[in-house]
Structure 1
Amino acid sequence: MFKSGLAALIIVLLANAEAQFGVGPPFGVGPQFGVGPPFGSRPPAGFGLPSLHGDGFPGPHPRPHPFPNPRPLPPPRPLRPPRPLPPQPPQFSSLRLCTTTQLEQDKCLYALDIAGNNSIDLKLECVQTDSFDDCLQAVQTKEADLVVADEHEYLKARSADLVPLLYAHETLTSYYIAVAPKNITLLELSNATLDVNAMDERAFHAAALFNLHRGHDLCDQAAEGDVTIQIIDSADYDPTDDELLICADGSVLYAGDYDYSECNIDAGLELGIFAPRPYDTNRSFTRLLQNVFDTLINSLGQESEVWNFFSDFQGTSDVIFKNDTSGFSLIPVNRNGVTEQKFTSLHCDQVSLDH
């Protein structure tokens, strides 16, 4: 009985030791027998106990970092500053027309009064100066938006970096024509003397164009022949059977076939409405520009029952625009193919010439 109890106690003690220290050497093997570690001490790693690490406690090893010395992360890229918005084009509620004389200013202001008293929405203002050159400066310094230029003022306006945005079309009632004897020969045509009133601007332009077409030096109009060709206004012409008309294209018309609109040598340019160059791409500006001059034509034009802007003013004709103005367009009418460049050549490229 005592032996069986002792055996049971030994088995319990061995079980507790095994639970605490793991599986050890067989019973009876120990320091007291000269084999193995001292009783109660831990066997070395791999001798039945898990290896120790870190703070000496058993457990799984941590995995080593795949890169012992990892590179530091690069700093974040700075954010790009937002792109600045493009400058917005100026907006316009009305346009300022520059005038060059007191008479023009008075007519411009009178038109605004008439429009205001008749509920006509004319988005126009009047800016007065003393000359065309002063108007150019006013437009350049943004004191005005528009200036009206005649054929001799185109080059000055362009030199000031202005561009024509509208052209004033005219309904001509008469034309300048070239009248020659019916029996004129080609040689006589080439050498004929021109009978022209050089003080008449339109007549001068017509004569210059005629000389250009017959191959003459425009800067030396000294041709003198036995035959004379008249450069006259068709309104002053009384046709006869022994004369013919010479057209700008070199063709001729005989008595009874005259259509002066088809056979003439007019060479002038239309009046142009000029504005600063950046405004020609500003839709707000160009739409308002067309609106203003459409209103002038439709509400204060030739058919208006209120007042005709394109009529004599204070006893003077062609104030600001020609009396025979019939409309405005983005595209000019080049009479007989006379462009700005060709018109300049008619004056030997000299802007200072009177005509």
Structure 2
Amino acid sequence: MPHDDKIDSGVSVGRSDLSEWRTRAQRFEAEIAKAVVGQERVIRLLTIALFARGHVLLEGDVGVGKTTLLRAAARCVGGAYERIEGTIDLMPGDLIYHTYLAEDGRPRVEEGPVLRAGENLAIFFFNEINRARPQVHSLLLRLMAERSVSAFNREFRFPHLVVFADRNRVEREETFELPAAARDRFLMEIAITTPTDAEARRALAFDPRFHDGDRLIGGLEPNILSYAELNDVGHAIQSEIKTSEALERYVLDLWQAVRNPAAGGIMIPGVDTQRLVAAGASPRGLSYLVRAARVAAWLDGRNMAVPEDVRAVFFETMAHRIFFEPVYEMRREIIARELIDALFETVAVP
């Protein structure tokens, strides 16, 4: 059974194939950048997640391009793209099926967004996930963890599925915070903000091609990454990109320091680091960090991961797995960044 902690592979992908796939990944990033301007780092992180075969939680204000980014990615990946809106009245069954009265007055049952495309489902977008009830989160957790659901007395599998969810940071009414178990299933949490580049801002405001989303997405090259092959490519990347003993010690030192910052000599102004962390990153989180770092190294043309690869993905893969004591939780975003910056300054780099 496919599982987001394992990358299943049925076809061998060699080094020469990985070189060709790197070129395709670069084409993918360039194509996405035509639709989403001023977000180069976000696009790179999205690419890493796709090849690492991990799920992604997007955070950002309304209208910064989260949906456009995912629609563009879905077109360039190929396969089926489905989405659902998180609402207070959404029930778990709404992901699986919906009922209606047909013209003859009889009730009908049709497959919902998760089942509609079957095994061809490549990207599933859960918009405003924090508006959905915990019962819905539970079903989504199984879908993410096992890439399967049970319905109509049978099991449906989605071997190529990557889940993307969006959390609106502005409105807090009628919202439900994601439980720790659900957040830990996301490979990354990626923040998307309004571009700071003046030219990107000008283009978004005045260039007509950004005002028609359907036409913009329709003009992108489709199926660049060929979704049905990504599991095999992801497996090959993890097998081919090596880690040295020195890098492994560095990663373990970072992990220990983030779980017990005071013991690691981490100091943050105005924060008692002895009382800061209630729970540190899980072993699964550490494996996700290494998986993402290997993909980052591959995208940069190296056959061995280096500390810069770890640092490049550390915040997005680890920050949401660090749980602070309640007194610090309200300032999570700022303190998490300060903690990780102090971590990099304190833990020795090999």
What TM-score does the superposition give when structure 2 sets the normalisation length? 0.22
Greater relative contact order (CA < 8 Å, ≥ 6 in sequence): 2
What TM-score does the superposition give when structure 1 sets the normalisation length? 0.21
Which structure: greater helix fraction?
A: 2
Larger Rg: 1
